[in-house]
Amino acid sequence: MAHQITRYLRTGALVGVLATLLPAAMLATASEQAGSQLSAEEDLGDTYYNLEGKAGRVTTRFDDGSVAIAQRDADGSIRTQLSNTDGTEIASLHVRGDKALLRKAGRLPLETLINRRRQTLDWANVEVTAQVRGRASEPRSIEAEFEGGFVARTETKDRIYTVIYRYGTEVGRLQYLPKEQVLAWKFPGVTTGWVDPTRLKKVGGWKFKRTMAWATVQALAFYEFHTKKQQTPLPPGVALDQRGWLQRALDAVVTPVYANDAGCDRLHWLDNSIFRPCCDDHDRCYSANGCNQTSWWWWGSWSCNNCNMNVITCFASGGDYQPFYPSA
Amino acid sequence: MPVAPFVIGLAFAVVLHGLVGWWLDSGPGVASTVAALFVVAILVARDKPQALSLWLGVMIGMTATLLSIGGGTMWPLVIVIGGVMTGMTILGAWAARRLVSLNRKGGAA
């Protein structure tokens, strides 16, 4: 029975991840074959575009200081305006079906054909910039306003970092580390976890390009799908609490923190410092090995001790230490 | 060990948390705590035992506060880092007070 429950939970956990992260990746595989006829467009699947379609407005800020704001009209067409650093409008683009009307300041309007099946607000922002500059510009940040009061803000430096709010209150955040190809997320009370290429090996690894626009939609996906999943009852006889009696007694005294805060717990003034990677590695290591705050003093697994020794070494060596952490 | 600086340190940690929240969670929290503790230490830590007593009071108050709000996954590091920062602040205040005192004595002589 215990074995069956464990198996169910493992399957459930995998399904949970698949339900929120992988549909896009799997659908991307199917559409990649068809996508070869659609120029260089990468199709992320219906799930992705359904969620993206909930965005009414996307603001993209570029490295050169220009800002593009795209809005979706009731008829599905997209209007985007590009402004320079002082707010002066440089250009606008109106995309309707396969036609786009480009207006540049001081020039006659130009109608062009769009060879793109999936038209998204973030794409329109990048497109208008490319039309004006004559080259693709790198977005520095994206802010997407979705229906239901959700606003997702994504920034990038050495990593992609998204925070999602609902009616002004933060409901979760995620970050993607390009070098390690690790995605970690935390939505308090909803879902917390991480995936890396090792974990994704079962489904063939990452199958699409991880971009800021994807992270913005992915954040909404985590919240929406996991909130719905929580409302689905478990079959009779399956309990969620798999802790031993001793652990439960201990947890009753000291509340365990399985789900870490993003960044340095109780040391958040270091979140933008060189110590941040130490904290993130420690969070991932804890998540991978099922550790909690009692792992510092309670006789537990060697893996948790390893996590703790690594974070101490990392802090002691000025934050540049890259520890090894065992994968789950 | 002097009791008064210990109690003042203890009260400082608890009252400060009530005012600004957990002090190590933000830059302004750290700056205001260090500044306030420096002033308190200047007034209270007249000698080494008093400075030590003040620091112990702050540490115990800080640790109790941390445990009451949930220490997070790196609580021993938080205590160590907090201890080093408060210790350095009190030490700095004591050294400053001593320097001023020596200057006054030198001026009077």
ipTM, 2 dp: 0.85
Shortest distance, CA A255 to any CA of chain B (angstroms): 7
Cα dihedral B69, A269, A280, A303 sign: negative
Shortest distance, CA B78 to any CA of chain A (angstroms): 7
| Closest chain B residue by Cα to residue A312 | B77
Residue B88 forms contact with A (CB below 8 Å) = no
Residue A176: Cβ within 10 Å count: 24
Instruction: Quote the pLDDT of residue A200.
Output: 78
Residues of A in contact with B76 (CB under 8 A): 296
Tokens standing for A148?
């239901």
The residues, any chain, with a CB within 8 Å of residue A123's CB and separated by 6 or more, are A116, A213
Convert the pLDDT of each residue in A88-99 to its tens digit: 888 999 998 888
Residues of A in contact with B65 (CB under 8 A): none
pLDDT (mean) for A293-307: 79
Question: Phi and psi (nearest 5°) for A59?
Answer: -110, 125
Q: Is the pLDDT of residue A161 over 70?
A: yes
- Confirm if A124 and A80 have CB atoms less than 8 A apart: yes
Beta bridge partners, A191, equal A187
Cα dihedral B9, B14, B19, B23 sign: positive
Beta bridge partners, A142, equal A60, A154
- Confirm if A224 and A51 have CB atoms less than 8 A apart: yes
Contact B73 A292 (CB under 8 A): yes
Got the DSSP string for A121-141?
A: HHHHHHHHHHHHHSS---EEE
Q: Which residue has the tokens 């879902």?
A: A191
Convert the pLDDT of each residue in B68-90 to its tens digit: 888 888 999 999 999 999 999 99
pLDDT (mean) for A295-310: 80
In chain A the beta strands, taken as DSSP E runs, fall at 55-62, 67-72, 78-83, 89-96, 99-104, 110-113, 139-146, 150-156, 160-166, 169-177, 182-187, 191-195
The H-or-E segment that residue B30 falls in is: helix B27-44
Q: Which residue has the tokens 């602040």?
A: B89
Residues of B in contact with A267 (CB under 8 A): 24-25, 74, 77-78, 81
Question: How far is A198 from A222, CA to CA, in rounded Å?
Answer: 20
Contact B24 A291 (CB under 8 A): no
Q: Which of residues 35-64 of B touch A (CB under 8 A)?
A: none
Mean pLDDT of all residues belonging to chain A: 75
| Closest chain B residue by Cα to residue A295 | B73
Indicate the angle between helix axes A212-230 and A121-133, nearest 10 degrees.
Answer: 180
Confidence at A107, pLDDT banded by 50, 70, 90:
confident
Higher pLDDT, A204 or A328: A204
Residues of A in contact with B27 (CB under 8 A): 269
Residue A296 forms contact with B (CB below 8 Å) = yes
Residues of A in contact with B63 (CB under 8 A): none
Convert the pLDDT of each residue in B34-63 to its tens digit: 999 999 999 998 889 999 999 999 999 999
Contact A282 B73 (CB under 8 A): yes
The residues, any chain, with a CB within 8 Å of residue A270's CB and separated by 6 or more, are A263, A264, A276, A279
Instruction: Quote the pLDDT of residue A28.
Output: 32
Question: How far is A197 from A205, CA to CA, in rounded Å?
Answer: 5
Residue B22 forms contact with A (CB below 8 Å) = yes
Got the DSSP string for B70-108?
A: ---TTHHHHHHHHHHHHHHHHHHHHHHHHHHHHHHHHHH
- Confirm if A68 and A125 have CB atoms less than 8 A apart: yes
Instruction: Quote the pLDDT of residue A13.
Output: 46
Residue B21 forms contact with A (CB below 8 Å) = no
Q: Is the pLDDT of residue A284 over 70?
A: yes
Of A255, A267, A269, the CB nearest to B74: A267
Residues of B in contact with A286 (CB under 8 A): 73
CA angle A253, A254, A260 (to 5 degrees): 155
Question: How far is A74 from A47, CA to CA, in rounded Å?
Answer: 20
Contact B24 A261 (CB under 8 A): no
Instruction: Quote the pLDDT of residue A298.
Output: 67
- Confirm if A32 and A44 have CB atoms less than 8 A apart: no
A and B: number of Cβ contacts within 8 A: 58
The H-or-E segment that residue A228 falls in is: helix A212-230
| Closest chain A residue by Cα to residue B68 | A254
Question: How far is A36 from A42, CA to CA, in rounded Å?
Answer: 9
Question: Phi and psi (nearest 5°) for A133?
Answer: -80, -20
Tokens standing for A264?
């340095």
Question: How far is A238 from A9, CA to CA, in rounded Å?
Answer: 9
Residues of A in contact with B22 (CB under 8 A): 266
- Confirm if A196 and A204 have CB atoms less than 8 A apart: no
Q: Where are the domains of chain B?
A: 3-108
Q: Is the pLDDT of residue A193 over 90?
A: no
- Confirm if A93 and A24 have CB atoms less than 8 A apart: no
Q: Which residue has the tokens 């979760």?
A: A172
Residues of B in contact with A312 (CB under 8 A): 77
Residue B69: Cβ within 10 Å count: 12
